[in-house]
Structure 1
């Protein structure tokens, strides 16, 4: 099965309070989206990459790909005003692909996705309708009423924090999006929500993710990302020193 990674990069960065969208901010010498693209470029399970972004940033994405030698990047297309319309734009772009093609949506602002997690998602697609990445919730979750009073406390054992990638077969997710587009009252916050609502017969299997696969949303997240990148760099340096010592 062909696997296509759709990197959603049309966000404005409004919640971070930056004039520049967060996916283009530089952390430890590289833009956030460079780390994201690098993970998918290095993953053997991914056949090609498509980035969905604002039309003004298309040249920037292409420049990043050339600079880094990201050969899997097939195209950069214009996204919409929200996640739903950006995902749908990607599905329409690939409308002529086989319905069995695996479409893997990923947030551009989750730069520390591990290639092994991507590979696990693709492998699980061999025996599941859809696959998504998530982590067990370690916090108690409150459901509030309209007056911000606690109305309900769901059992934590069944609660997971949603992450990306989220993987689907092109035919199934495209049909679900077509149905959702015709429903003016539906609001989706992720791609799994669309499939769950409009193709409930499709079961979505969850692959356990990692706390490192954080989503850059607020300024403090950039500091966390920088710390994680420094830790990784230090670990790689120590590994190289160990290999060199063994050779000597």
Structure 2
């Protein structure tokens, strides 16, 4: 069984909006709804869990009904941090999943992911027990030494950009957090499950990613997503036009 755990517990203060960024509307539709639809449309994903900001759970329920997001089986309350939200979501699934089931952790404000990205995440996770969508660093990179200065060149070919989904065999996800807690890492390592893996000495296995696969962090990212939605609509219209011509 493949379950998507979509994190919608954050505030997203860097966007500067009146509501959490995952609930900002783009063309009249919340960003979170676009994100959920990625998994709603995937034939291998059987269930979706939303880890939601407590003040927005009622709104979320109405949104799920409005957009017929039928794979959403569970809603649980988010935490104050990424780690707390993942732990809440993981514990809520305890009596609902088997240890060999796959859990795909995804940001609610990361609506750019494609079906290719989701599929490869599932395949790599089945092979290695976990996977993370990674993208090569295409831009030149340098150190950030403070006061607007950079003194060291960084080899971009030795770096990857990590995004979502972050996919795990459920039993392995539980094991990561148990070991992290036993080693006193939960209050020290932020903000990702993969950060805990690095601290524990585990290997992170890469799945497909591309430069489009970002999470919305700033106002500019929202503008990018507006363009992305328009592009997808145009592609769909052109595709339907070609079918009619045939």
Q: Which band: TM-score by shorter chain?
A: over 0.9
CA distance in 1, matches of 2:129, 2:49: 22
Structure-2 change in CA distance of 1:146 and 1:214 (3 Å) = closer
Q: CA deviation at 1:109?
A: 0.7
Does residue 210 of structure 1 match 2:174?
Answer: no
Structure 2 match to 1:84? 83
Q: CA deviation at 1:208?
A: 2.4
Structure 1 match to 2:198? 196
Does residue 220 of structure 1 match 2:199?
Answer: no
Deviation by residue 1:154-208 (Cα, 9 ceiling, x = unmatched): 311121111100011112221221332351552222121122323x34x321122
CA distance in 1, matches of 2:94, 2:111: 27
Q: TM-score, normalised by structure 2?
A: 0.92
Q: TM-score, normalised by structure 1?
A: 0.91
SS in structure 2 opposite 1:220? helix
CA distance in 2, matches of 1:229, 1:192: 29
SS in structure 2 opposite 1:76? strand
Structure 2 match to 1:6? 5
1:16–1:219 CA contact under 8 A, matched in 2: yes
CA distance in 1, matches of 2:188, 2:152: 23
1:6–1:50 CA contact under 8 A, matched in 2: yes
Does residue 44 of structure 1 match 2:46?
Answer: no
1:13–1:19 CA contact under 8 A, matched in 2: no
Q: How does 1:1-248 map to 2 (within 5 A)?
A: 2-96=1-95, 97-145=97-145, 149-150=149-150, 152-182=152-182, 183=184, 186-198=188-200, 200-201=201-202, 203-246=203-246
Runs of 4+ in 1 over 3 A off after TM superposition: 144-152
Deviation by residue 1:31-78 (Cα, 9 ceiling, x = unmatched): 101110011001011110000111111111111111111111111110
Q: Which runs of 5+ in 2 are unaligned?
A: none
CA distance in 1, matches of 2:206, 2:155: 18
Q: CA deviation at 1:13?
A: 1.8
Moved more, 184-193 or 51-60: 184-193
CA distance in 2, matches of 1:149, 1:219: 25
1:99–1:169 CA contact under 8 A, matched in 2: yes
| Paired residue total | 243
Q: Which runs of 5+ in 1 are unaligned?
A: none
